[in-house]
Amino acid sequence: MIDFGLLVGPVDVSKYNYLRLPIRDTWGVLMRKDSSLAQQNVVRAEDLWDKPLIISHQTSISNDMMSWLKTDVKKLNIAMTYDLIYNASHFVKKGIGYVITLDKLINTTGESELCFRPLYPALEADLCMVWKKYQVFSKASKAFLHQLRSTWEPDNVGFSE
């Protein structure tokens, strides 16, 4: 069983208890360091129109992402879709395409042959910690939730679940 989940982006939280985190994730492009786009500080929509794209199944249905791309999805060169970013990163390493993803999911530091460039204009994703309504928590889960709430909702430290 899973006690908590971290949901990214616009989500329906009506069937959960939840805590919206006051931080956001940054969308961008994972690419090889020797890519022509790697020379830029940011990636614009038009930079991607002719590139082979690797997008997640979730992103492929995101209105925010499709709106940001400013073109009909049928005109894009979507080379493949992925469920696990780790697997998609291997296709990037092989030069198969560019992954539209969130920052810091793949190591791009040090000797990595990959780099990440944020989208411009910036596109960010909301983060929401969720748990089942009427969830019976273990002591460890209660402590974790208490720590989350005391960090992100200091006025609600005396809550009960």
Tens digits of per-residue pLDDT, 51-84? 999 998 876 557 788 889 998 888 999 999 999 9
Give the contacts of 44 (CB within 8 A, at least 6 positions apart): 119, 120
Per-residue pLDDT of 110-156, as tens digits, reads 999 999 999 999 999 889 999 999 889 999 999 999 998 888 876 65
Q: What pTM did the predictor assign? A: 0.84
Using CB atoms within 10 Å of the CB of residue 92, give its burial: 0 to 12 exposed, 13 to 18 middle, 19+ buried. Answer: buried
Q: Do 49 and 68 form a contact (C-beta atoms < 8 A)?
A: no
Angle at 78 between CA 52 and CA 33, to 5 degrees: 30
Residue 16, classed as helix, strand or coil, is strand
Residue 57, classed as helix, strand or coil, is helix
Cα separation, 150 vs 156, whole angstroms: 7
Cα separation, 92 vs 60, whole angstroms: 18
Amino acid 138: pLDDT: 92
Cα separation, 49 vs 106, whole angstroms: 23
**Single-letter amino acid, residue 110:** G
Cα separation, 59 vs 68, whole angstroms: 12
Per-residue pLDDT of 16-44, as tens digits, reads 999 988 889 999 999 999 999 999 999 99
